[in-house]
Chains A and B, each alone.
Chain A
Amino acid sequence: MRNIELKVDDDSFWNDKEQIIKYIQLEDFENANTLIQSKIKFENNMIDKNGDKSELVCNQHFIFRAYWHLFEHFIKCWTHLRSSPDDSWNHLQDCLLAIDVLDLSVNGNDFFDSNMLYNYLLKIESLFPYTMFNSVEYVTKKATCSICGNNPFSKECNHIKGDLYYGKRCYVTIDEANIIGMSLVENPANKKCIIFVEYDKKNVKYSPFGLVWQLSFLKPLFDFTIIYKNVSMTRDKYLKYLRNIEKNPKLPPKRIFQVEYKKITQLNKIGFKIQNT
């Protein structure tokens, strides 16, 4: 609700941002992580230092910290794509949550390229086999505001959930609740509430995470397009494509990379084409 205006006095933000993106694109995750951790430490220090002096400064640093966290989770998401895609999903959701914080800043869209990152992450999300999620319906009887400790419905509490107050994000803790029911929904409140998919971790490419596995052979933070095609493929043809990818796992980013196959989890015969651009 309370939009925060961000200001950067020196070039260090832009330089570090550019450097981190470059490291990620070159898949030098170790250096990227070191730089990200130093930035997170710096933002934490700034929040502690200004804790009771300037609310605006604290909130600004909170937003910057969320930006660095976004890249931290993105690296984890990308590195897990091939080995444990279900962990990768959790980190992808953390990236999207970090973008929620960036949206609190007035000039966020241009400052962090958050729109572009958001669309890119949504495309990665669409390759996962999760289409239905668990979701709970409940009646809250007692709740507490994280900032003032009062009931969020009482007149004493002026804090709006999701807003920043002295470098802290307001949330509501549910102390007492009755669960009414559980449902399977397409658009849940929390996308981490997945239905577990059992698969052979040694053979991810033949699992419902086949699309995600293929994505891992592309370069991170380079766009790819998904073209929907009404083409169904035979199993043999599909496996042939997979074998070809296996032979050339490190495709250069600009080279056209085309795969047509049937999405395993989809019942209708829709084929996909992933193309690195």
Chain B
Amino acid sequence: MLNFLYNEDSKLETEIYKVKNHLFFMSLKIAEENINFETYSEVLSAEAKEKIKKNEPCIFITPNRGWRANKNWLYPKETADFVKYVNQETQQNATYLSDPEEILSLNNIDSYLPIITLGIDFILKVGIESVVDIVIEYLKNKYPRIFSNSKNQIHFKIQIEKRDKKSMLKLEYDGPANDIKNTFTGEKISEIIDRL
């Protein structure tokens, strides 16, 4: 009955935005950081401590510090839902690296996912692809329209422990949801694994 409401206008606008976005921004930044699990020793929860000790393949949800001179460890507001989704809907296990006390809500509609920290054992047993798939599935379930709207950006970081366990490789994604899959290609993932 409402067939006459269908119009191509909005699709065209989205396409133009996508092309602009693709030309001027690189969605994924990879950098090495001098941090490891010990960096978080002052805030590590008992559960996380035990899992790190046992080398359990687990997704560690990590707080961030230093947001606008704020010295406290903060989690973004999307964190609780993401952790529940991972634990309820997937076969993986997500654990807070520290007990969440303060939650940061930022001022736009973009989705800020928590920092995901992965031990080297997780990468060897499970792989990066499954974490990326979990992120995509989470977004698909929670915000079904986010994949057709390029204006809503997704921000997430994955920290991967290097083989020497002294530093971490940080993957920082800032871009539209429908670009995540294209960014984390097989080639890119093998490049990341080579750098570990």
Contact = CB atoms under 8 A, between A and B. Distances in A.
B is a partner of A:
yes
Interface of A: 1, 3, 17-18, 21, 103, 113, 116-120, 122-123, 135-141, 143, 152-153, 157-162, 172, 180-183, 185-189, 221-223, 225-226, 277
B132 to A, nearest CB: 19
A119 B10 contact: yes
Contact of B107 (A1, A122, A152, A188): A188
A183 B107 contact: yes
A141 B84 contact: no
A1 B109 contact: no
24 contacts: A113-B1, A113-B5, A116-B6, A120-B5, A120-B7, A123-B7, A135-B108, A137-B105, A139-B72, A139-B104, A140-B77, A141-B102, A143-B103, A153-B80, A153-B96, A159-B84, A160-B84, A180-B68, A181-B107, A187-B110, A187-B152, A221-B2, A221-B5, A222-B4
B102 A187 contact: no
Nearest to B144: A103
A180 B19 CA distance: 34
Most A CB atoms within 10 A — which of B85, B107, B152?
A: B107
A136 to B, nearest CB: 6
B155 interface: no
Given A103-B145, A180-B68, A119 B1 contact: no
Contacts of B85: 1, 160
Contacts, number: 110
B6 A187 contact: no
Contact of A18 (B1, B74, B109): B1
B105 A138 contact: yes
B6 A223 contact: yes
B2 A21 contact: yes
Contact of B7 (A141, A172, A188, A225): A225
A195 B57 CA distance: 49
B105 A140 contact: yes
Contacts of A180: 68, 70
A159 B75 CA distance: 18
Contacts of B6: 116, 119, 223
Contact of B80 (A119, A152, A185, A223): A152
